[in-house]
Amino acid sequence: AEGKTGYKIGLQMPHYIAVMQYADNRSLREQIYRAYVTRASELSDEGKFDNTANIGRRLEIALQEAQLLGFNNFAELSLFTKMADTPEQVLGFLHDLAARAKPFAEKDLAEVQAFARDNLGIADPQAWDLTYAGEKLREAKYAFSETEVKKYFPAGKVLAGLFAQVNRLYGVNFIEKTVPVWHPDVRYFELEKGGSIIGGVYMDLYAREGKRGGAWMNDYRGRRRFVSGSRIGQTQTPVAYLVCNFTPPVGGKESRLSHDEIITLFHETGHGLHHLLTQVDELGVSGINGVEWDAVELPSQFMENFTWEYDVLAEMSSHEDNGAALPRELFDKMVAAKNFQRGMFLVRQMEFALFDMLIYSQSDKGRLKEWPQVLENVRKEVAVVQPPAYNRFALSFGHIFAGGYAAGYYSYAWAEVLSADAYAAFEESGDIKATGKRFWMEILAVGGSRSAMESFKAFRGREPQIDALLRHSGFDVEAA
């Protein structure tokens, strides 16, 4: 397009990750790494886009806003409407999870460094080598094809398997109905329980031209009981949209879903069930309404766990050539690959989250400019990969400076702990029906009518614990 020869590599995430993961040219990886980690800093573009002053100003404004509203710092203000109570509680959670995960991160790092030395001829692996070496190691350890996995999962059978799992959990049936829709691909299902219709969901699962990308659940209407007007005393049932962008059927053949797409389908269905299974009659707090931001992913991430149960996947699988179910051997490889370098991933997330919470917990305006030192201290505590001195990661950390996650980045790991711990209740129980009923009544049914922590404790009988997340991540909790 620019009339130049060769290839143009941008610094957008898909470009960057592709080079880091697959480029055999080590000098190219280093060049792209340096450009990526110094963008928006004094070290690139002659400092024209240096965000240092912007970060300082952002922290000042956040502190000023919080103190005008009667809080000591912005972290307290951020948490006021979240499930977590105080910055100290969040910091304790993050420090604990980091300490528990770090030994496994160190093992992950040692393994990939040894592989780089012994198999790739990289004597001293650097930051720009680790993703590349990690991908080569993953391929060597877990040799299976995502394309082959996809051949086992026809979309129709996957959807039937999803509905069967929801029925096992909550005794709810999905009944397809013919209603006006905005595209022929869209299907509408009513949710039925004990002969009564309790909600409805539109499912728009396939990609098409002009359709917004990604996957999401949104509500068309919420549950409410009318207290005035012509419908006084009547209850409005909730209706949701569930939208994905899976590969559409081609040439008369049924669409096949990857395992990642199955996870996405279960995830969004979890959000949908949170909205549809509510029993709260006040619209402002029924379903997903009024649920704290750091708890709203609990029902969705909870549903993802069932996509890692062999019996659930086997039930919805049928190979396109012979109708065979997913082999146990292939499933075991999928599980092993799922947890590959999980320790390194977790400590990296803890680095981001601790930095975020600490800089927004500062109550002294005069110390706001110390954020680079805060980051350095966090890295010394939790990181297993120390970046080069020129790394300016924070200057492009848009999540916490421009993306709404200020003093909230912890919520990614927080929701994972909640969902893993909730799922562990099903692992511990021999009665999926009774446990499912309790999850419905104590988590899904109550919506935002009470605090998410109260709801979790009502279901689990205690506050959340991180052991289940560590176990599901492939960690030996005793060793940790």
Active-site residue list = 268
- Give me the phi and psi of 258, to 5 degrees please: -75, 165
Q: Phi-psi bin for 225: left (phi > 0), alpha (psi -120 to 50), beta?
A: beta
Alpha-carbon distance 216 to 342, whole Å? 26
313: left (phi over 0), alpha (psi -120 to 50) or beta: alpha
Residues 6+ apart with CB under 8 A from 20: 29, 32, 33, 128, 131, 132
Q: What is the C-alpha to C-alpha distance for residues 145 and 334, in angstroms, rounded to an integer?
A: 10
CB contact at 8 A, 321 and 151: yes
- Quick check: 183 and 195 in contact, CB under 8 A? no
How many CB atoms are closer than 10 A to CB 174? Answer: 19
CA distance 93 to 99: 10
The rounded distance, in Å, linking the Cα atoms of 393 and 67 is 28
Say how many residues make up the chain.
480
Q: Which helix (H) or strand (E) holds 252?
A: none
Order of strands, edge to edge, in the sheet holding 216-221?
173-177, 187-193, 196-206, 239-246, 216-221
Closest alpha carbon to 66 in 296, 352, 406, 414: 406
SS3 (DSSP) at 272: helix
Closest Cα to residue 84, out of 431, 403, 418? 418
Question: CA 291, 295, 296: angle at the middle one, nearest 5?
Answer: 60
Contact 412, 406 (CB under 8 A): no
| Bridge partners (DSSP) listed for residue 192 | 173, 197
Question: Tokens 């659930």 belong to which residue?
Answer: 312
Three-state SS at 434:
helix
Q: Which of 275, 245, 219, 240 is nearest to 155 (CA)?
A: 245
CB 224 within 8 A of CB 281: yes
Chain centroid to CA 95: 20
What number of other Cβ atoms are within 10 A of residue 45's Cβ?
Answer: 12
Q: Which of 361, 396, 392, 399 is CA-nearest to residue 376?
A: 392
Q: Amino acid identity of 252?
A: G
